[in-house]
Chain A
Amino acid sequence: MITAEILEKQFVTAYFIDNNRTQIEVMTLESLSSDTQISTVIEYDTNHPWCQELLKVCNLDTLHENTWTRIQNQRKQFERSVIKIARDEGLVFSTHKSETKFHTAMMDFLFNFKVDQEKEDLFAFKLASFELDIVKNCKDKNQKAAIRKAQSPLDVVKAISDIK
């Protein structure tokens, strides 16, 4: 319920919930002694008494600002949850490699290389190898060419080993 009394003492926030900016979710405390929030969705209708009362405590600019902030927060939460899932499943390798499936994935890439599916990964692997100091400083064009021409990740590793 939206009343002047409730909005005066129990209002938490309000924001638009639709792209057309016609509906507003108003959050109020269940009571003065409660932390439980009550959601009430109203139309943005300046002729409606509830909307009129709301606009007295939260004007249109603030509604838009709250909406933008909420969308940003939702987006951040979603990104965090996706990254968490990916880390849990070992799809993202954090700096703490022992907590992930990094080693398993690397071994699979080296010894079970699938030409059809992992060509792009092989290319990225070669690019990464050229960032190594040992390769950067190598003056032997043939050895560098061996890396470029490698047909598998293992060939890349072998070519780098040959530089030593």
Chain B
Amino acid sequence: MTVRTPLYNNSGNLQEMTSGMINELIDQVVYQYSTNPSVALSVQSSGGNLGTIADTRLQAGSVSTGSGAAPNEATTQEPQEVTTNFAKINNASASTSIVADTGRTFPVYQSSGNIYAMSLTDFNDTFIHPAIDLLVSGSIGTQQGGTYHISTAASVSGSTEVSGTGTAVFIDTRADTSAYSAGTIGDHALDNPTTVTSFFLQRVNGSDTAYSQTPLVVRGDGDLQVYPEATWESLLLSHVRHVATSSTNGFKIVYSLSSGTTRGSGMTNTILNGSGNYQTRNVSVDDYRAQEFPDGVSSTESTTFLRISKG
């Protein structure tokens, strides 16, 4: 790993950039990535390849009937678990390419008074890899622009809801105990869900922060010049996109539901933890009914996080 110190034009003099100047350029790499992320998550109706998250809830046991007396608690079916699977997050990597290194493609630095153009490795180590390190952190500020997180609110300041239509990627439901009554045994539905929390996929917005100095590049005639802004920013964009998808030395951006740094809120699957609320209904002399309703307090059965890492 070789991190170089780029040169810049200080009123006609060549001077090494300060760490502050280099950090400004790294922030610009992040911004460029945010304008066109190469590792993209999207929201699908089903079949997303990032994984499946299960929402479980209780529904009432089936109705037991008897004549002369209601079936006792030991014979009625316990509340049953209902599972809804969510596979709404899809992960796709773009096809990327980089600007070929001609030997004069990347910024210049000095060593022992001699001026050299950075190699591709130098360029990545100096600008791109530090930007990837920022992008995969657990924060969700502008230095993570173009990466994703989960929120419980459809609208989050500084982020854009990915589906564009407020489509939740996971919904935690529980049994609505108020929907069950002894007087309606046999009439009410077995499954009466109520939504507890909806979870949304968000993409962090980037911020086009100013950088005070632009590096120098060796021209075809051997002279030095300041990179034209568009050329410089295009170079950053193509390389950060490529490294994020195709790095061979551990700087790919990887999303997962199982490993990495958590991104945003965990998606909780809660369920009532009771063993059944046994109730009876005497409809007529020969129509006794019994049923066990969902009951108990909410407990968290599982929590799934969106996670980000380098790979």
Contacts and interface: CB of A to CB of B under 8 A. Distances in A.
Interface of A: 1, 3, 17-18, 23, 25, 30, 38-43, 45, 48-50, 74-75, 77-78, 81-82, 85, 89, 114, 117
From B141, B264, B274, name the one whose CB has the most chain A CB atoms within 10 angstroms: B264
A30 B155 CA distance: 10
B262 A40 contact: no
Nearest to A43: B262
B151 A23 contact: no
Contacts of A39: 152, 197, 265
B153 interface: yes
B195 interface: no
A40 B265 contact: yes
Interface stretch (B8-16, B243-251, B290-298): B290-298
B214 interface: no
A41 B266 contact: yes
A41 B306 CA distance: 12
Contacts of B277: 82, 85
Given A43-B266, A89-B182, A50 B138 contact: yes
Interface of B: 69, 137-141, 149, 151-153, 156-159, 177, 182, 197, 261-262, 264-268, 274, 277, 279, 295-298, 300, 303, 305
B300 A18 contact: yes
B182 A1 contact: no
A114 B68 CA distance: 11
Contacts, number: 66
Contact of B297 (A18, A38, A48, A78): A78
A42 to B, nearest CB: 7
Given A1-B140, A78-B297, A41 B265 contact: yes
A17 B300 contact: yes
Contacts of A77: 297
B137 A49 contact: yes
A81 B177 contact: yes
A38 B295 contact: no
Contacts of A17: 268, 300, 303
B279 A89 contact: yes
A146 to B, nearest CB: 29
Contacts of A43: 262, 266, 305
From B137, B266, B305, name the one whose CB has the most chain A CB atoms within 10 angstroms: B266
Nearest to B155: A30
Contacts of B265: 39-42
Nearest to B300: A17
Given A50-B262, A82-B277, A117-B69, 17 more contacts: A1-B140, A1-B157, A1-B159, A17-B268, A17-B303, A39-B197, A39-B265, A40-B152, A41-B266, A41-B303, A43-B262, A43-B305, A48-B262, A49-B138, A78-B274, A78-B295, A82-B295
Contacts of A40: 151-152, 264-265
Nearest to B298: A74
A43 B264 CA distance: 10
Contacts of B261: 48
A145 B296 CA distance: 45
Nearest to A51: B138
In the A-B complex, the 8 residue pairs with the closest CB atoms: A41-B266, A40-B265, A74-B297, A48-B138, A17-B300, A78-B297, A49-B139, A89-B182
A39 B196 CA distance: 11
20 contacts: A1-B157, A17-B268, A17-B300, A17-B303, A23-B268, A23-B300, A30-B153, A38-B153, A39-B152, A40-B265, A41-B268, A43-B262, A43-B305, A48-B138, A48-B261, A48-B262, A50-B262, A82-B277, A89-B182, A117-B69
